[in-house]
């Protein structure tokens, strides 16, 4: 990762407009069709949350804005993406786990299982400092209509939240919220990411 000059990027105007805004975060809501994801999870014995994280990484990896992030008062360029998940640890509390995104589902699954197990046992966060991390929080046991993430002023990373998926007659849906810093991307980039996410889910070979 490296610091880049905002004026030499496509984010120059956004950096000027939003870096010092009191509330620079934007939240989108989207209901996804996760029918294929649920089927693949059950038929292949893969965790639903792992598949969601992999599809999120796939959807983000083709959008260049995901490789830039405002950190402090600087704009940082990254070469790779990671996806974060929240892990229930052995204390009965939660810890944070970053997983480097790999286009290879088998490798990502192996890393996901190994790292989340390690975090659950040690109760120590697993952080990746040199990747642009997409945060996620899955409240899979609860029916929620959406959530607006907290803006701490410290972490500007994009963040996704979802609850329990809903079964219909022939389909399964999941409402997600996606929070992003306006300096990092515009609404069109975020909307394209959510479109990409649905396409990646639809492309799963269930």
Query: pLDDT tens digits for 145-157?
Result: 888 877 777 789 9
Question: So what's the pLDDT on residue 151?
Answer: 76
Query: pLDDT tens digits for 104-123?
Result: 999 999 999 999 999 999 99
- CB burial readout 21-53, b (16+ within 10 A) else e: eeebbbbbebebebbbbbebbeeeebebbbbbb
Q: Which of 23, 106, 114, 100 is nearest to 57 (CA)?
A: 100
Q: What is the mean pLDDT of the chain?
A: 95
Domains recognised in the chain with CATH numbers: 2-14+21-202 (3.30.559.10)
């Amino acid at each position: 990762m490296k610091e880049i000059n905002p004026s030499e990027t496509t984010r120059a105007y956004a950096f000027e407009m939003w870096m010092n805004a009191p509330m620079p975060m934007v939240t989108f809501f989207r209901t996804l069709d996760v029918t294929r994801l649920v089927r693949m999870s059950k038929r292949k014995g893969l965790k639903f949350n792992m598949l969601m994280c992999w599809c999120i990484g796939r959807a983000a990896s083709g959008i260049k804005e995901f490789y830039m992030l405002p950190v402090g008062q600087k704009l940082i360029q990254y070469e790779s993406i990671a996806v974060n998940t929240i892990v229930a640890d052995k204390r009965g509390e939660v810890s944070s786990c970053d997983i480097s995104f790999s286009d290879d589902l088998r490798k990502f699954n192996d890393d996901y299982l190994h790292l989340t197990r390690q975090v659950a046992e040690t109760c120590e966060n697993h952080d990746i400092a040199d990747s642009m991390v997409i945060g996620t929080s899955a409240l899979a046991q609860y029916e929620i209509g959406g959530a607006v993430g907290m803006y701490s002023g410290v972490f500007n990373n994009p963040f996704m939240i979802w609850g329990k998926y809903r079964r219909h007659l022939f389909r399964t849906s999941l409402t997600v919220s996606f929070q992003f810093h306006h300096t990092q991307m515009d609404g069109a980039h975020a909307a394209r990411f959510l479109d990409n996410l649905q396409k990646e889910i639809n492309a799963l070979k269930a």
